[in-house]
Amino acid sequence: MKPCPLHCTEGQKRVQSPPDNCCPRNLAHRTKPNGIHKGPSAPRNISRQRRMAHFPFGTLRQYFAMNVVTRFAPSPTGHLHIGGARTAIFCWLLARHFGGHFHLRIEDTDLLRSKQEYTDSILASMKWLGLDWDGELTYQTQRMDLYRSYVEKLLQNGQAYWCSCTAEEVEAMRERARAVGKKPRYDGHCRNLNLGPGEGRCVRLRCPDEGKIVFDDMVKGKISVDVSELDDMVIQRADGTPTYNMAVVVDDYEMGITHVIRGDDHVSNTPRQILIYRALGLKEPIFGHVPMILGSDGAKLSKRHGARAVIEYEKDGLLPHALVNYLVRLGWSHGDQEIFGLDELVELFDGTHLNPSAARFDTNKLQWLNAHYMRALPVSELARLVRPFAVEEGYGELSDERLAGLCTLFRERAKTLVELAKCFAPMLKKADELVYDEKAVAKNITPETKERLTRLAAVLEKTEVFEAEHLNEVFNGFVKDNNLTFKEIAPALRTALVGFMGGSHLHDIMAFLGREETLARIARAATL
């Protein structure tokens, strides 16, 4: 087994999969390699291979082996949430895998709901996740003239027309269609009126009268939509601003986007965007629509399932790579492997093996993964990361050495940096401030164990070298000399030292506390 890419210490091995009870999905959606494709990244199933077989570049790798340019285009109407973050990660990985370019575009045309604080939050979340972008940051509000120029091209070539119909009139058309069992749509009233610009007038795209829009989706395979399902959609509003579909097409073309990966809530937009591409005589990009993320119960993801903003996970003390790793696995797989270094993800993610089925968000699995990365980090790095959380807990300024010592003692108990920082509290208090767990005291601090602790304290007081290795020898010698078992004194000593049944090795705890504090805590326990 290969060593973990995240600096595992000697002897540590990569964890291939979480505990059986960690992920309710477990690996049920995957099948064993079927022999069609050689190597460790064999397709999950035959149907996936068949869906992709018709792509026009021969093999899958040839299909993707081009100058790949991707983008992520969030709207600053809220913070970056995990669904958007996953899409951004997929786009970033695809571009980095092929040595292409990844662009970030802020779609801020919703002037009422767009806020600078959300833009700042999105950018901060992207940087925290390690998703760097190429070139300048693009804002749609700065490109209005560009959009209007493309609309003008469509008007000039007869692919678009001015429309004077009001919203009320369009709704009446739809109601009439519903009344006779037809699809509710704009009926083309202004299509042949040869109207020009005017107050209250929008611009509509002239939809073909017949035919199908067919495209090969990276995730879902071939998708075909009859043009009868579409209508003459608005591409420029009466106020001169472009609609979403128009702006996206112009932006993606101008930015040279070759692959558009986004949520499958955009599947219905894709045929409309393809119509715009074709009306302009432009080559459309390759589309891929990933399913939404569901809650652990299969319902729409909500806050009760852990659907929170990326910035909240950062504040909760998750490591960015743990979140990246987890989100990538919500919709993509490489055999049964669960844990990936970032460089490894870049190497493996080529746009294939994206799961067409919706994934379920599991907070327990995310925390399990985060705990793994915390334990794999060098202690010095873990100490650096936990420092702001320790400050927030009110511990004051701790030396690097002391903070590293605390991390060593408690890293096995914590799943997040916040949890780790909270674990430090018992070690940074004085004996008379220590809070004891009532159940631990009732079970472990008895008249008999108090007498044993008093005798141990006498031995510790005379110990010349108060260091972990020597203290371990002293404690084991005490147990042997007094004909005790480990269980007859260790739980009582642990409760006396930290107030609960947890923490690291007893000799490590005593060495960290020092002689004076260790003896003071044992003395206090004897009074309980």
Domain boundaries, the chain: 51-138+291-376, 387-428, 431-525
**CA–CA separation, 268 vs 16, rounded Å?**
38
φ/ψ (deg, to 5) at 261: -105, 125
Rounded Cα gap, residues 91 and 218, in angstroms: 12
User: Residue for token digits 């002293």?
Assistant: 474
Give me the amino acid identity at 325.
N
**CATH architecture label of 431-525:** Orthogonal Bundle (1.10)
**What's the confidence (pLDDT) of residue 59?**
41
CATH of 51-138+291-376, one of 3.40.50.300, 3.40.50.620, 1.20.1640.10, 3.40.190.10: 3.40.50.620
pLDDT value of residue 308: 81
CA pair distance 481, 157, nearest whole angstrom: 99
Distance in angstroms (rounded) separating the CA atoms of residues 499 and 436: 4
Q: What are φ and ψ of residue 184, in 5° steps?
A: -70, 125
DSSP secondary structure code for residue 426 in this structure: G
pTM assigned to the model: 0.83
Q: Is 227 exposed, middle or buried (CB count within 10 Å of its CB: 0-12, 13-18, 19+)?
A: middle
Q: How far is C-alpha 468 from the geometric centre of its chain's CA atoms?
A: 40
pLDDT of residue 84: 95
- pLDDT for 175 equals 94
pLDDT on residue 305: 60
Q: Which residue has the tokens 């009439």?
A: 176
Query: For residues 261 and 72, is the Cβ–Cβ distance under 8 A?
Result: no
Handedness of CA 75, 81, 83, 87 (dihedral sign): positive
Nearest one of 396, 511, 490 to 443, comparing CA atoms: 490
Cβ proximity of 393 and 424 under 8 Å: yes
Q: What is the structure's pLDDT at 307?
A: 64
- Alpha carbon distance 179, 280 (integer Å): 35
**Sign, Cα dihedral of 340, 345, 347, 352:** positive
**Under a CB-based contact definition with an 8 Å cutoff, are residues 298 and 364 in contact?**
no
Q: What pLDDT score was predicted for residue 50?
A: 36
Judge whether 6 and 373 are in contact, CB under 8 Å: yes
Contacts for 189 with CB less than 8 Å, ≥ 6 apart = 163, 165, 169, 173
Question: Residue 299's pLDDT is what?
Answer: 79
Q: Find, among 500, 521, 511, the residue nearest to 409 by Cα.
A: 511
Sign of CA dihedral 82, 84, 85, 91: positive
Strands 69-72 and 101-106: parallel
Helices and strands, counts by H and E, the chain: 21, 12
Closest residue by Cα to residue 225 from 272, 285, 159? 272
Please confirm, yes or no, whether 303 is among the known catalytic residues: yes
**Contact predicate 342/93, CB 8 Å:** no
Strand duo 202-205 + 234-236: pairing? antiparallel
DSSP H/E element including 119: helix 116-129
Find out whether 252 and 71 touch, Cβ atoms under 8 Å.
yes
* Residue 205 DSSP symbol: E
Residues of the chain with pLDDT under 70: 1-66, 302-307
Question: What DSSP string describes 41-74?
Answer: T--S-HHHHHHHTT-TTSSHHHHH-S--EEEE--
Q: How high is the pLDDT of residue 295?
A: 84
Question: Token digits for 68?
Answer: 């790949």
The H or E element spanning position 464 is none
Strand 212-217 relative to strand 221-226, pairing = antiparallel
Q: How far apart are CA 155 and CA 279, in angstroms?
A: 10
Three-state secondary structure call for residue 126: helix
Cα–Cα–Cα angle for 138, 140, 145, rounded to 5 degrees: 115
DSSP state of 501: S
The pLDDT tens digits of the residues spanning 13-63 come to 333 344 443 432 232 232 222 222 223 333 333 333 333 433 433 344 444
- CA 116 to each of CA 76, 77, 79: distance values in angstroms, whole numbers, following the listed order: 7, 9, 11
List the catalytic residue out of 300, 303, 430, 439. Answer: 303
* pLDDT of the residue at 301: 75
Mutual angle of helices 506-513 and 468-481, in 10-degree steps:
120
According to the model, what pLDDT value does residue 303 have? 62
